[in-house]
Every structure is written in C-alpha cells, then in structure tokens.
C-alpha cells in the first residue's frame, strides 16, 4: 500500500477493534485489502469505481509531466471529486445507520468532501497541507514543477463552494501551516496524520559505535524527488568522508534515482552510498535498526511520517528547519539544520555528522528520548484512543443539540 492508503488501513483495522466500521474506498484498493484479510470481522467495505476517470487522468498527467511525479500525483488526485460524488450518491441509497462519518483521507486540505449532506456528524482529517514553497531553494523547486502547488488554491475554492470546512463537525489539523490554511472560527483539533507501529519499529541500541574503523551509518528513506533534498545530502557526505568514515544508505525510488546515482559517482561516493530502491515496511524497519542516524533533508515536507518511524526505532533524527519536520524534531531527539539555502543546509549536515561521530553517547541518548516520545505520542494505539474520545465528544454535542 502507498503511504496514504496505509494511513487509511491503520484507521480501518484499528477502529474495527472497538467499533462497527464501514469502509468506503476506491475499487483500486480491493486487491490489497483482500490480501490483508479484509473485510475484517464486524466490518463492511463499500467499493467506489471511478477507475475509468482516474486512469485517464493519470495517463494524461504522465504525458504532460513525464519527469515530475509530484505534478502527476496532484493532477491525478482530481479524481477525488468524482469519487466523492459517487460515494455520496451510493451512501444515500443505503440505510443511514451510522452514528458518525470520518473522512480520513485524502490528507490534503484541498480535498473537500460533500458527505456532510448525509446529515450525519462529519469529521475530516487529519489534514496536512497549506505549506508555502521555500524561497531559498529556487533550483530544486523549479525541478519539482513548483508552479503546480498553486493548484491547491483551486482546491480551496472548490472547498468553499462545497462548504466542507464550514459544515464539518470537526477538522483534525496536523500542523501550524494547515491551521493557517483553514478559515477562521472552524472547529479544529491538532493531530498528526501519521502514526507508527511501535511493534514493527522497535528500539535497538547501536551494535557498534562509529569510530575511525567503524563508519557512521546514515539512513534516508523516501521518494527520490527534487524537493526531498537527497542531492544536498550527497554533497554533505562528499565533504565528510575524507575526514570521518561514513556510509549513506538510500531506501526509496523515484524520478531522480538515476540522476542521483550519477551524481554520487561524480562525487566519488561509490564506496560510501548504497541505493536499495523500494523496500517493504519490515525491511525498512530492519534498515533503521542497523543505522546510527536518520536524515530527512527534504526542503518542503508537510508531514514527515518517516521521522516518527525513525524515532520509534531509537534513531536520532536530522531534518530541515521548515514545515512538518520543524514541529516534530527538536534538540531532545535530534537536530534541525538551516533552511536558508543549499549551502547553509549542506554545511549544517556536515557539522551535524561530525558531531555525531565525535559525541556518539549524546546522540544515542537523543535516540532513546525519541523512542520514549514515540511511545507517548506517536503510536497508533495512542492515536486511536484520542480519536475515539473525540468521537464520543462530537456525538455528545450532537445529541445535546438535537
């Protein structure tokens, strides 16, 4: 499953342990859901088929933007509005025996649902978006077709026309930038859109401390897209490896993979950088247990769910002081490097890697505190308890107003 689909699965599977759940989802998810054992006991799944339109949009976007995965994703996502309309029509034909509707995905604030028209209390989110493009990285944003981000304003207009943000009983908002993108006086509660499986991503101590004979093992996990900043991470490693032993493992795939492999070769990093491609979640967890530090050099990251997984794995985390990571990472669990420009970001990574190598015990403690924070705040079990408490609050208010 993709990351957004995984979020949907976590909500569906975990809520089914304590509630009667009906899942409304796209028919493209049926095969994966059935392979995972769905429908789960005591649940129902309603599949919505708009594949004829979704497929057309994807093919069109792929032809228009062959080198921009993000542009393809954003344009393809317009299928949501048809999906939502068909879902509304389908549910109206059913006995409306649900107490509450929770539209968990899409996670973007531009995804305006009309399911409030069913007359049932509606919660949407956690939403995550509204993040402005950083002005200090024009070249990387140009590579990423940054102009396409303006499409979100169209989504906001549609949302206002549909009335979703005004009609929802509650909006779950993941970040401060999301809060700023919402109309004033809209009821919101802060909740990250991602959680972490604390059993799969479990803490482990460093097997070997980085030293003159043992390289510092840096890990990156994510899509290989321009705004993810992996090119800047390679530059940082190239400035470090002659001073301290270091390796970088890159997990993930994307349109920049071949360009990044060429750049790594140009920087003489063939013996220091390993590209593993996409890995299943279990193998990602294993890579995290084998690393010393996790680095997410993304210059435009609304969320940062992978940081939660790294923290749960007991890894200190290094990220950029912008967007979602700036609300997750602090000096207790890791470090934020400057977002003032490419050179400042690279210099920050170089300095940080050097500090980890010189002071490993201090950074191990940051990793331990990250695990403690994950157990307290990021686990899916905690997320579900908080959500169910919110449901009862909304249902209580709805009953009081009836």
Question: pLDDT (tens digit, 9 = 90+) per residue, 22-39?
Answer: 999 999 999 999 999 999
Domain annotation covers residue 287: yes
Per residue in 45-64, pLDDT (tens digit) is 999 999 888 788 778 877 87
- pLDDT tens for 165-175 read 788 899 999 98
Does residue 56 share a domain with residue 153?
yes
- What is the CATH classification number for the domain harbouring 225? 3.40.50.2000
* pLDDT at residue number 38: 93
Give the domain CATH number at 159: 3.40.50
Q: Does 367 reside within a domain? A: yes
Same domain, 110 and 245: no
- pLDDT for 148 equals 58
pLDDT over 70, % of the chain: 91
Are residues 341 and 393 located together in one domain of the fold? no
The confidence score (pLDDT) of residue 377 equals 94
Based on the structure, what is the number of domains in the chain? 2
Question: pLDDT of 295-336, one tens digit each?
Answer: 999 998 888 899 999 999 999 999 999 999 999 999 999 999
List, for residues 360-380, the tens digit of each pLDDT value.
Answer: 999 999 999 999 999 999 999
pLDDT at 157: 63
Residue 397's pLDDT band, with cuts at 50, 70 and 90, is low
Residue ranges making up the domain that contains 314: 216-378
| pLDDT higher than 80, residue 388 | yes
Mean pLDDT computed over every residue of the chain? 89
92-117 confidence digits (pLDDT tens): 998 888 999 999 988 877 777 899 99
Rounded to 5 degrees, what are φ and ψ at 351?
Answer: -65, -40
Both tokens of residue 281?
């979640």
Say if residue 158 is in the same domain as residue 241: no
What is the per-residue pLDDT across 198-256, written as a single tens digit (0 to 9) for each? 999 998 888 888 888 899 999 999 999 989 999 999 999 999 998 999 999 999 998 89
Q: Is residue 356 within 8 Å of 249, Cβ to Cβ? A: no
Between the CA of residue 246 and those of 21, 195, 196, 264, 346, what are the distances in Å?
Answer: 48, 30, 28, 14, 15
Is 207 domain-assigned?
no
Q: Specify the higher pLDDT residue, 380 or 1.
A: 380
**Residue 349 and residue 389 in one domain:** no
Residue 83 in domain: yes
Residue 364 lies in a domain: yes
* Chain centroid, CA 133 distance in Å: 17
Residues 176-209: tens digit of each pLDDT: 888 888 888 889 999 988 999 999 999 888 888 8
In this structure, the answer to whether residues 63 and 166 fall within a common structural domain is yes
In the predicted model, what is the mean pLDDT of residues 347-361? 96
Q: 390 with 348, same domain? A: no
pLDDT grade for 146, boundaries at 50, 70 and 90: low
Same domain as 233, residue 190: no
Residue pair 299/324 in contact (Cβ under 8 Å)? The answer is: no
Residues in the chain: 402
206 domain-assigned: no
The crossing angle, in degrees rounded to 10, of helices 51-64 and 79-92 is 170
Q: Does residue 162 lie in a domain region?
A: yes
* Statement to judge: residues 27 and 148 lie in one domain: yes
The full 3-state SS of the chain, as one line of letters, equals CCHHHHHHHHHHHHHCCCCCEEEEEEHHHHHHHHHCCCCCCCEEEEEECCHHHHHHHHHHHHHHCCCCHHHHHHHHCCHHHHHHHHHHHHHHCCCCCCCCEEECCCCCCCCCCCHHHHCCCEEEEEECCCCCCCCCCHHHHHHCCHHHHHHHHHHHHHHHHHCHHHHCCEEEECCHHHHHHCCCCCCEEECCCCCECCCCCCCCCCCCCCCCCCCEEEEEECCCCHHHCHHHHHHHHHHHCCCCCEEEEEECCCCCHHHHHHHHHHCCCCCCEEEEECCCHHHHHHHHHHCCEEEECCCCCCCCHHHHHHHHCCCCEEEECCCCHHHHCCCCCEEEECCCCHHHHHHHHHHHHHHHHHCHHHHHHHHHHHHHHHHHHHEHHHHHHHHHHHHHHHHHHHHHHC
Check pLDDT > 80 for residue 4.
no
Residues 152 and 230 reside in one and the same domain: no
Pull the structure tokens for residue 402. Answer: 């009836």
């Amino acid at each position: 499953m993709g990351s957004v689909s995984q979020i949907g699965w976590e909500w569906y599977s975990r809520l089914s342990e304590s509630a009667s759940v009906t899942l409304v989802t796209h028919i493209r998810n049926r095969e994966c859901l059935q392979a995972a054992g769905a429908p789960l006991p005591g649940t129902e799944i309603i599949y919505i088929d708009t594949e004829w339109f979704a497929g057309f949009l994807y093919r069109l976007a792929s032809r228009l933007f062959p080198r921009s995965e993000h542009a393809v994703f954003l344009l393809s996502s317009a299928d949501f509005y048809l999906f939502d309309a068909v879902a509304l029509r389908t549910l109206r034909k059913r006995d409306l025996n649900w107490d509450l509707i929770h539209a968990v995905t899409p996670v973007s604030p531009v995804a305006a649902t009309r399911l409030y028209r069913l007359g049932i209390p509606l919660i949407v989110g956690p939403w995550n978006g509204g993040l402005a493009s950083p002005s200090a990285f024009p070249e990387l944003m140009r590579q990423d077709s940054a102009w396409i981000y303006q499409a979100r304003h169209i989504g906001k207009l549609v949302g206002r026309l549909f009335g979703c943000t005004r009609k929802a009983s509650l909006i779950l908002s993941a970040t401060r930038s999301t809060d700023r993108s919402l109309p004033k006086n809209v009821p919101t509660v802060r909740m990250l859109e991602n959680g972490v499986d604390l059993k799969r991503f479990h803490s482990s101590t460093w097997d070997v401390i980085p030293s003159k004979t043992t390289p510092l093992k840096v890990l990156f996990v994510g899509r290989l897209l321009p705004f993810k900043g992996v090119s800047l991470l390679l530059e940082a490693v190239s400035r470090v490896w002659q001073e301290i032993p270091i390796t970088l493992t890159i997990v993930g795939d994307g349109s920049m993979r071949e360009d990044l492999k060429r750049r790594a070769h140009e920087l003489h990093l063939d013996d220091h950088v390993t590209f593993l491609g996409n890995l299943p979640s279990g193998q990602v967890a294993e890579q995290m247990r084998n690393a010393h530090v996790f680095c997410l050099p993304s210059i435009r990251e609304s969320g940062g769910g992978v940081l939660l997984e790294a923290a749960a794995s007991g890894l200190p985390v290094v990220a950029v002081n912008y967007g979602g990571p700036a609300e997750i990472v602090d000096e207790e669990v890791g470090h934020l490097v400057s977002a003032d420009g490419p050179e400042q970001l690279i210099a920050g990574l170089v300095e940080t890697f050097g500090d980890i190598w010189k002071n490993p015990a201090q950074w191990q403690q940051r990793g331990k505190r990250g695990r403690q924070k994950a157990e307290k705040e990021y686990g899916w079990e905690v997320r579900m308890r908080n959500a169910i408490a919110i449901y009862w609050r909304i249902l209580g208010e709805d009953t009081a107003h009836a």
